[in-house]
């Protein structure tokens, strides 16, 4: 298991010389398209349900690693 990340927003001037905004965004999207990422996601809910979903996720007995929010239309 490897944890990788990509900073798409503002980065230090030194890092900007190596990777411009487009390159950082492309890397982030590529990492998100990996099918293995789905094994970390326990469930998904529409954004509109966020208030009730947050209450459930805050319960001490929850062991979910990730819960995906869906932004419909």
- pLDDT recorded at residue 5: 67
- pLDDT recorded at residue 13: 78
42 φ/ψ angles, rounded to the nearest 5 degrees: -80, -35
- pLDDT recorded at residue 51: 92
- pLDDT recorded at residue 1: 66
Nearest-CA neighbor of 7 among 47, 41, 18? 18
pLDDT digits (tens, 9 = 90+) for 20-70: 878 888 888 888 888 888 888 888 999 999 999 998 888 888 777 888 899
Alpha carbon distance 68, 15 (integer Å): 30
- Residue 71 backbone class (left: φ over 0; alpha: ψ -120 to 50; beta: rest): beta
Q: Can you give the pTM of this predicted structure?
A: 0.52
């Amino acid at each position: 298991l490897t944890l990788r990340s990509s900073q798409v927003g503002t980065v230090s001037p030194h890092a900007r010389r190596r990777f411009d905004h487009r390159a950082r965004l492309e890397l982030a999207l590529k990492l998100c398209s990996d099918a293995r990422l789905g094994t970390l996601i326990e469930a998904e809910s529409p954004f509109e349900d966020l208030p009730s979903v947050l209450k459930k996720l805050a319960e001490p007995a929850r062991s979910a690693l990730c819960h995906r929010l869906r932004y419909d239309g």
